[in-house]
Structure 1
Amino acid sequence: MESFIVLVQYFRSLSGSVSLPAISTPTPRLPMDWNENPMLPRFLALLCVLGLVSAQDLQLCTQCIQQSRTWCTETKTCEASTTSCKNGVTVLLNCPRLPDPAYAYNETFARYYMTPIVAGVFAKSPEPCLKAQVPHVAYYKNVHVKCATEMPDVHCYGYTAWDPVEKAVIIAFEGTSTPFQMTDEILSFFVNKVAFFDNGYLFKYFHDAFFFLWNGGLEQQVRTLKYQYPDYKVYITGHSLGASIATITASYLVKWNMWTPENVRLITYGQPRTGDYDFATWHDATFPYAYRIIHHRDPVPHIPPRLGRDKMFHHRYEVWYNNNMAVGKPYTICQEADGDYCSNTVISAESWEHMWYFDRNLGEWGEKGCPSS
């Protein structure tokens, strides 16, 4: 893991964030115009309808960005690119907004419901975790497949379940499990991305991992549960690599019309960047309930770096815990998608925090069956 952290720090230096924790002013760039990206007007219209931002502020922020200038969130003014405002916005997705209150983040749900579900992926069977913490969740089946062609001992794992109380189908994914898998992920950063319909691109490794799982048994499990419980919502979660697979799973399930976006609950832990800016635009316009939980200085959410013309870009919403995540500790719902805000304002070098969520080591807790003490 130490070598991985060195690589993370190198990538972050390339993306210009090594000078943190001081907040740096990002270099402005003009986003695609309206005709080049048809999702943008839909995205903006959705925000206005929901009332999450004022129409005037959104219009001013958008106009400012299209002029290759910087929108200062504190003063709500459009400034030159050399501005020294603390929170400068230079891309549309970073125009500040909060979630629709009807789909607000619920820490109790994340801490006591979704966390034992994701911890279960680290055990030989998730059933002990489910029985100990969420006994009304019924385990269905797991899927374990080889998910890379170039490296040995690279596997992906997930499982499915259902909850008659929540009326939800549940899908959970494991994160990176071996040094070989970490190497494969890092090397694949230099491989071309894969198109996600006409809505941007996905990081090829994560895209391929999803289809290895889907074709390896996950599809049959999900379709069976959907057939048995057609009116259920779907809850999807994952840690690390599994977090990216969770995001891609949610995206395909909606594209394939298996669930409507309003019936998807996506909560991830320590998620790497999964797609590019256009994918993030589509994702934000599609899913009202999607939260990426980040523990303090967890380094993994900062890779792959935001580099190049088609840079990788996080979707909303980041939930940042700038603390040990113990009960009662505060958190921030980040109003921007992916810039020099929230977790990007600290140097990410604490590898242990990648496994430590809600005051527990997810791997150790899951292996022990998620005991209460």
Structure 2
Amino acid sequence: MSKLPLLFLIIGFFIDESVGGMVNVCSDIKDCSKCTQSYINIFSFRENCRWCIKTHSCGGPIACPTGFPTAQRDPFKCPTFVPTAKGYRYTDKLGRSLYSLNLAVNNKDPKACLQNSRPDVKLIKRYEVECDQSRNTCAGMLAVSDEAKAIYVVYRGSSFDKQLFQEFVQGIAAQLGAWEKFVNGTGVMTYFYNGFQNLFLESGMKKDLIDLHKKHEGYRIWLTGRSLGGSLASMTALYLADSALFPTNKIRLVTFGEPRTGNYLFAKAIENNLKFRYRVVNKNDIVTNIPASMDPDNLLLSVASAEKQPYFYRYLVHYEFGMTRDASFKICENSEDHNCRPIALAADMNDHLTYFNVKAEDYLASGCQRALIL
């Protein structure tokens, strides 16, 4: 062998080792990112190394205790630090303030509700369109606060009859890889895609938002919604970031009771494009586990099949013991919420209906009394 090919072989070995590749022993790796990109050969079969998140160690197929969260095949699955810098962290006060807007959009005319709960917020326009063949509607509103220097894009949640049933049925199809193509090569659930097209793109909401931003240049763009509205908010946030309509550092995404909106690639795109994004979940909210992921750790499916699975983006804000004023919450650093909350127990509809201990119908009937939530 000449010296030049040998030199290339040596250089190639060290480059491969610097980012992963074949290793002799997985346990020698001390970094999650490199671990997820490394593998060993067992009897001529390739076996991926996996990072045991709780033990902070890299190992082979049986190295992680059963049921513990793992990361493998993609650094995206490694834990990421929750932002703590001012202007990028989630607080209970912020959640309550945004959720009051989520409740206000349920009214055909949200002005009086906003005046009683968030008098600094001025309604620009409310939109409502049919979003499926059963004539169920999707709704949203644009609002602005000069005091907070904020533009708000707020989406209404699902109705709990035929609309939620259709979401559930289409969620089953999504588990099998049936997604509508969305921006940046991602996939989203068909029902959410149709709602986004009809409400944001075709109702004039997008155009009005662009005009509003021109009038209030420099304001932050807050996108929020509950349930179906949460999915529409996350899609809108990614759409705005991908189309460069707004500076990504001005986009803020906070949803409540959001289901799995899109596939694995959608979750990655949200994280890659939006630094400020939080999904708030009340205890065992059933909607936040629809559609379910068949293989959250990707231990069984091929890479191609895993990319078609429903997947959550970070960061989960989980109120494990309810949402009273003094309630604590934790923010999950892991992808897909695995082992951050008991996803298998997420089966309570009442938890979906009572964020911050307030039911929408009671709040609206009270005239949107500020003291009930803020």
Same fold (TM over 0.5): yes
Letter in 2 for 1:303: I
Matches within 5 A, 1:256-271: 256-271=243-258
Find out whether 1:173 has 2:155 as its counterpart: yes
Q: Distance in 2 between matches of 1:216 and 1:80?
A: 52
Query: How many residues in Structure 1 have an aligned counterpart in Structure 2?
Result: 317
Find out whether 1:354 has 2:352 as its counterpart: yes
Are the equivalent residues in 2 in contact too, given 1:313–1:338 (CA < 8 A)?
A: yes
Matching residue of 2:211: 224
Q: Distance in 2 between matches of 1:185 and 1:68?
A: 35
Runs of 4+ residues deviating >6 angstroms: none
Q: Tell me how far 1:57 sits from its aligned partner.
A: 3.2
Q: 1:209 to 1:137 in 2, by over 3 A?
A: same
SS in 1 for 2:224: strand
Q: Distance in 1 between matches of 2:32 and 2:182?
A: 27
Pick aligned residue for 2:267 from 257, 274, 280: 280
Matching residue of 2:93: 108
Are the equivalent residues in 2 in contact too, given 1:132–1:369 (CA < 8 A)?
A: yes
Are the equivalent residues in 1 in contact too, given 2:249–2:274 (CA < 8 A)?
A: yes
Matching residue of 1:89: 70
Are the equivalent residues in 2 in contact too, given 1:236–1:265 (CA < 8 A)?
A: yes
Matching residue of 2:3: none
Q: 1:292 to 1:186 in 2, by over 3 A?
A: same
Q: Distance in 2 between matches of 1:120 and 1:127?
A: 8
Matching residue of 1:301: 288
Pick aligned residue for 1:206 from 185, 192, 207: 192
Q: Tell me how far 1:339 sits from its aligned partner.
A: 4.6
TM (norm. structure 1) is: 0.79
Matching residue of 2:37: 63
Gaps of 5+ in 1: 1-40, 42-54
Q: Distance in 1 between matches of 2:313 and 2:260?
A: 8
Q: Distance in 2 between matches of 1:76 and 1:342?
A: 16
Q: Distance in 1 between matches of 2:344 and 2:116?
A: 36
Gaps of 5+ in 2: 1-18, 20-28, 41-46, 295-300
Identical positions, percent? 26
Are the equivalent residues in 2 in contact too, given 1:123–1:368 (CA < 8 A)?
A: no
Q: Distance in 1 between matches of 2:160 and 2:359?
A: 17
Q: Distance in 2 between matches of 1:207 and 1:266?
A: 18
Q: Distance in 2 between matches of 1:226 and 1:240?
A: 26
**Alignment RMSD:** 2.2
TM (norm. structure 2) is: 0.79
| Cα deviation code 1:332-357 (max 9, x no counterpart) | 10011205322344512211110111
Matches within 5 A, 1:160-199: 160-189=142-171, 190=173, 192-199=178-185
Are the equivalent residues in 2 in contact too, given 1:98–1:333 (CA < 8 A)?
A: no
Q: Tell me how far 1:84 sits from its aligned partner.
A: 1.1
Q: Distance in 2 between matches of 1:327 and 1:61?
A: 41
Higher alpha-carbon Rg: 2
Q: Distance in 1 between matches of 2:364 and 2:273?
A: 32
Greater shift in the superposed pair: 172-181 or 355-364: 355-364
Q: Tell me how far 1:251 sits from its aligned partner.
A: 0.9
Greater shift in the superposed pair: 336-345 or 117-126: 336-345
